[in-house]
Amino acid sequence: MRTNRLSAAALVAAAALALSACGGGDDGKQPVVSGTAGSEKAATVLDRPFEKPELVLTDTHGKKYDFAERTKGRPTLLYFGYTNCPDVCPLTVSNIAIARKKLSPAEREKLQVVFVTSDPERDTPKRLGSWLRGAGDPSFVGLTGDFKDIQAAARSVGIGISPPEKGKGGEIVSTHGAQVLAFSPKDDKAHVLYGEDATAGDYAEDLPKIVKGATP
Amino acid sequence: MNRRALAGLVLIGCATLAGCASDGPDLEPRGAYVPQPPMADMASGYVTVRNTGDAADRLTSVTSDISDDVRMHRAAGATMKPVGSLPVPAGGELRLERGGNHLMLMDLDHRPVRGETVTLVLHFARSGPVKLKVPVEATNYQPRK
């Protein structure tokens, strides 16, 4: 892995040399090669785990859903996002859906995946339901409710989301959470975080451990 | 500063020798794809445009057979901002990729599924338009880096 990184760096350096030799009009705005050749662990294990947030919202069937109560003692993934998000949100949800399919039926039964909207005004229960089915898995729980409650819950687990706001062109700009949190069935605390670079393969590798309450 | 000075020298060299490289931008789009969207109302699109020419260009708009409203977005942290154009630097590339800058195709005429092909036409400030036949990939598709 280390050698991969080094050789990647060498390649970049060589490419840079080649470019400047050719006189490509270097105006200092050259895109930089993103240097993630050597893959490190996707999971971040937290020194101080997060408590489950108090979150009573509405699920995709329009029913009340008490997050802490319903997921008590169950391995749970929690993600804050919105359905008008074309890029990162479907990518993240789809990665988790693909990984979930690789679990044994018993493991699958235990795992709870909860998607909480960061754009509750536009994300009705019905829309959330269709989107989650389309993005990956009908078993995923989709929650909507009052933005302030959602934002406070997100903040309590270290996730910052801003209220949707109107952009210059009149379009609505929302934010998604930067991480997926994994709660342990043993103590109901989030010990692990995944960023948006986590792949379906990363989740597939880690989920059996998460389901057992171990850290990857 | 050294770099800039070097680039300047090379440019002077080019001018004197004349014909060191072709005039203007020389664009080569590649690796375009559209991930299968969760619903029919929007999809994202990605492409890398390499510019081997000696002048910069800009991607100014994109049109498609499945959407009358294709926007360009610059990713800014956990949010995204619509932009009027995206730079394709000389000797560099414009890279639209997952988690980064991307195209947003709005109000699709249908939900494209994996295996389908859609059309994207890239319009530039200087170069002529480029029509691409773009594969629809899995929702979580990401090309190997």
The complex scores an ipTM of 0.77
Using pLDDT thresholds of 50, 70 and 90, give the confidence band for residue A19.
very low
> pLDDT for A105-146, tens place per residue?
999 999 999 999 999 999 999 999 999 999 989 999 999 999
Among A70-79, A165-174, A197-206, B7-16, the range scoring the smallest mean pLDDT is: B7-16
Q: Per residue in A168-180, is it b (16+ CB within 10 Å) or e — as a string?
A: eeeeebbbbbbbb
Q: How far is B96 from chain A (nearest CA, A)?
A: 11
Say which of A90, A95, A200 has its CB closest to residue B37: A90
* A66 or B12, greater pLDDT: A66
Flag whether residue B84 sits within 8 Å of chain A, measured between CB atoms.
Answer: no
**Kind of pairing between the strands at A56-58 and A172-173:** unpaired
Beta carbons of B15 and B117 less than 8 angstroms apart: no
A133: which 2 tokens? 């089915």
Q: Where are the domains of chain B?
A: 24-137
* pLDDT in the model for residue A146: 96
Kindly state the DSSP code that residue A114 receives in the 8-state scheme.
E
Residues from chain A that touch B143, judged by Cβ atoms under 8 A, are none
- Please tell me the CATH code under which domain B24-137 is placed: 2.60.40.1890
Question: Is pLDDT at B19 greater than 80 in this prediction?
Answer: no
* A7 or A212, greater pLDDT: A212
Residues from chain A that touch B75, judged by Cβ atoms under 8 A, are 87
> pLDDT for A151-172, tens place per residue?
999 999 999 998 888 877 777 7
Flag whether residue B130 sits within 8 Å of chain A, measured between CB atoms.
Answer: no
Using pLDDT thresholds of 50, 70 and 90, give the confidence band for residue B77.
confident
Q: Where are the domains of chain A?
A: 1-40, 43-212
Q: What is the mean pLDDT of chain A?
A: 83
For residue B41, how far is the Cα from the chain centroid?
Answer: 22
Question: Is pLDDT at B62 greater than 70 in this prediction?
Answer: yes
* CA torsion, ordered A86, A90, A92, A96, to nearest 10 deg: 180
Q: How far is A186 from chain B (nearest CA, A)?
A: 30
* pLDDT in the model for residue A168: 73
Q: Is this structure's pTM higher than 0.90?
A: no
CATH class of A43-212: alpha beta
**Kind of pairing between the strands at B130-137 and B102-106:** unpaired
Q: How far is B50 from chain A (nearest CA, A)?
A: 11
Question: Is pLDDT at A5 greater than 50 in this prediction?
Answer: no
Question: Is pLDDT at B82 greater than 60 in this prediction?
Answer: yes
Say which of B10, B99, B111 has its CB closest to residue A88: B99
* pLDDT in the model for residue A26: 35
Q: In the 3-class helix/strand/coil scheme, how is A40-100 assigned residue by residue?
A: CCCEEEEEEEECCCCCEEECCCCCEEEHHHHCCCCCEEEEEECCCCCCHHHHHHHHHHHHH
* pLDDT in the model for residue B145: 64
Flag whether residue B83 sits within 8 Å of chain A, measured between CB atoms.
Answer: no
Sequence-separated contacts (24+) of B9-13 with Cβ below 8 Å: B10/A20, B10/A21, B10/A22, B10/A23, B11/A23, B11/A25, B13/A23
d(CA A92, CA B46): 17
* pLDDT in the model for residue B13: 40
Among A10-19, A24-33, A122-131, the range with the most confident prediction by mean pLDDT is A122-131
Using pLDDT thresholds of 50, 70 and 90, give the confidence band for residue B59.
very high
Residues from chain A that touch B99, judged by Cβ atoms under 8 A, are 87-88, 91, 196-197
* pLDDT in the model for residue B22: 58
